[in-house]
Amino acid sequence: MIENQSDNIDNKENDVSDQDNVPEDSQLSEDPIIDNHELSSQKTEEINTEDLKNTISNNDARLEQLEKEHETLKNQYVRISADFDNFRKRQSRDQDDLKIQLVSKTITAILPIVDNFERARQQLKPESEEAQALHRSYQGLYKQLVEVLKQQGVAPMRVVGQQFDPNLHEAVLREPSEEFIEDFIVEELQRGYHLEGKVLRHALVKVSMGPGKQNSQEELEKDKVEGDIDSEENTSENV
């Protein structure tokens, strides 16, 4: 038993001595492994940094491209929106013009009836009770017709005393006038009408020539009469 213990002690001593006799090369060989690991880590960090820079650069380029595409699409949208707005306005304007043309054609055919109503109103002078009742009925129909024209946007022109305008009026007669100066309307021969601010029918009018020619004619006649009187007086004196 004692021998075994002594043997164990000897074995332990041998192990310790073996560890002390480990060659130094085995310890030194661990240092290059550590250096290689550090180099590998450094290279990995450099690669990661380069990849990150490339990624950022690619993202910047992509962002710039997307901004350009966005600007292009925005310009296209603005242009299309403007074109659509112009198209909508043009369609609305064309529809309004078409509506006015259709209404104008219909109302132009009705206006002679309105003229006849107005002429009859000026000429009729009811005296009996029956004639007055008929006249009132006629006036009621005339008012209804005028009201329908107003609802359609028709408005009569007021021309007497206004300066002649070939865009609105049609001159049928010209005559001297003491009341109105030259190129002013003396009388309305046929009423003109507007439709939605546009001329539906020109007014037929009589235009003043001014008082100048009439006065000069009267002066010539007066001078002629005075000349005849003077000649008669001279003749009587000679006799």
Record the pTM.
Answer: 0.53
Per-residue model confidence (pLDDT) at position 79:
92
What is the model's pLDDT at position 30?
A: 47
Q: β-strands 169-175, 203-208: how paired?
A: parallel
Q: How many residues does the chain have?
A: 239
- Going along the chain from its start, the domains and CATH numbers come out as 154-239 (2.30.22.10)
SS3 of residue 187 by DSSP: strand
Neighbours of 102 (CB within 10 A): 10
**Residue 154 burial class via C-beta count within 10 angstroms: exposed 0-12, middle 13-18, buried 19 and up:** buried
239 residues of the chain, pLDDT tens digit each: 444 444 544 554 455 444 444 444 444 444 555 555 666 666 677 677 877 778 888 888 888 888 889 999 999 999 999 999 999 999 888 888 888 888 888 899 999 988 888 888 777 777 777 777 877 888 888 889 889 999 988 999 999 999 999 999 999 999 998 888 999 999 999 999 998 888 999 999 999 998 854 444 455 455 555 555 555 544 444 44
pLDDT of residue 141: 86
3-state secondary structure 28-95: HCHHHHHHHHHHHHHHHHHHHHHHHHHHHHHHHHHHHHHHHHHHHHHHHHHHHHHHHHHHHHHHHHHH
- Read off the pLDDT of residues 130-172 as tens digits, 9 standing for 90 and up: 777 877 888 888 889 889 999 988 999 999 999 999 999 999 9
Q: Put the strands of the sheet holding 154-156 in their side by side order.
A: 154-156, 193-195, 198-201
